[in-house]
Amino acid sequence: GGTFFPFLNSRYGGRDLGLSGAFTGVADDITTIEINPAGTASLKYTELFFSHNKLMGDVNFNTLAYAIRLNDLGLALSARILYIPFTHYDNFGDIVSAGMISYSVITLNGSYNFLRTYDFFGISVDGNIKLYIYGVPENIAANQTTVNVSFDFGFLTRFNFLKGYSKNEKNFSVGLAIKNVGPFSANEPPPTTISTGIGYKPIEQLLLSLDFNYLISYSEFTYKNWSVNTGIEWKFTKYTSLLFGAMIKSSPSFSLGINLDFEDFSITATYNPDFLDLSRFSVSASLKFGDLGRYKKDTNIKILYINALKYMNQGDYETAKIQLEDILKKDKGFTPARKSLENCNEALKIN
């Protein structure tokens, strides 16, 4: 009740909702746009996303989003709308007017991952621009429609910590997001929120996440605006995982979900048994349009590097040097090739 347009803090659905919003540090699929917008700079695939959330009564909430990653640059666009059928009756029970009250948000996202190398994930930073519209038909109430803008800022990095598996990925992540910073509407601020979170995979099949959130009050500092979100994802088959999340605040809630993640698409269904969170039931789907050749490029670079090491082992440092320099032209952040090139140059000086 102390902010305007609380719908700005609503979640799309998908894995984020299954983890009860403990996604600021995880940030590894398209739903990161609204949770930690810095995550789009490290998305694995280009994605097209749709979700449908069934809320109380006949209130519905839908989202359409698209995200693409161009090497270290992430770009995304999303639109979401919550619509409420409304009928106005007079004192005699006759219908005076009827229409649809709506909350709409259009988000433009841009993020960039700085300092990325083979050994270091880099530091992703981001900004969102949001246009939000509170729409009230004139026949229901005149001059109530409001249009405004707000901004998001995010930070994300990943590294290895107490890792119990050998897959080539960073298993620990840290994120920070400041969301919905902008001008007031009707003398009320937007729901400006600060969130920080971590994601941790001790083993490949298990993801643990934890978020701390604070809804900024422009009039006073109060502990009532704090919330803690935590989530667990257990991948029990190659394509299937179970999701569980809990939100600890004045009105606690929890989420249950299942995620089917295939090579070309994924489907997620979540349910809030206690009805206290924003969504009671959500279904979402994401289409994957490949990675723009990044996997193929990385594979070719590793093959070239293996061949260069073979030449070095055979004492053919001239050929190895040419291969290593070619690798660094393709990817200047491939630090193993840089270190091997230094060794190669030292061997050529000796010889």
Is the predicted pLDDT of residue 5 greater than 60, yes or no?
A: yes
Percentage of the residues of the chain whose pLDDT score is greater than 90: 69
CB neighbours (10 Å) of residue 282? Answer: 27
CA distances from 231 to 163, 201, 242, 297 (A): 19, 12, 11, 34
pLDDT for res 221:
62
Is 90 within 8 Å of 96 (Cβ atoms)? yes
In this structure, of 51-55, 117-121, 168-172, 287-291, the range with the lowest mean pLDDT score is 51-55
pLDDT for res 275:
47
Is the predicted pLDDT of residue 127 greater than 70, yes or no?
A: yes
pLDDT for res 218:
74
For range 311-328, the mean pLDDT: 92
Cα 38 from Cα 32, distance rounded (Å) = 8
Longest dimension (CA), the chain: 102
For range 184-202, the mean pLDDT: 93
pLDDT digits (tens, 9 = 90+) for 9-34: 888 888 999 999 999 999 999 999 99
> DSSP secondary-structure letter at 188?
B
Amino acid at 253: S
Is the predicted pLDDT of residue 1 greater than 60, yes or no?
A: no
Cα 308 from Cα 329, distance rounded (Å) = 15
Is 55 within 8 Å of 279 (Cβ atoms)? yes
Is the predicted pLDDT of residue 296 greater than 60, yes or no?
A: yes
The sign one gets for the Cα dihedral 337, 124, 278, 63 is negative
Is 265 within 8 Å of 245 (Cβ atoms)? no
DSSP string for 72-123 = TEEEEEEEEEEEEEEEEE-TTS-EEEEEEEEEEEEEEEEEEEES--SS---E
pLDDT for res 100:
84
SS3 assignment, position 243: strand
State how beta strands 123-135 and 146-159 pair.
antiparallel
Q: Which band of pLDDT confidence, cut at 50, 70 and 90, is reported for residue 186? A: confident
pLDDT digits (tens, 9 = 90+) for 214-223: 998 876 666 6
- Provide the whole-model pTM: 0.90
CB neighbours (10 Å) of residue 266? Answer: 22
pLDDT for res 272:
81
Q: Which band of pLDDT confidence, cut at 50, 70 and 90, is reported for residue 122? A: very high
Is the predicted pLDDT of residue 190 greater than 80, yes or no?
A: yes
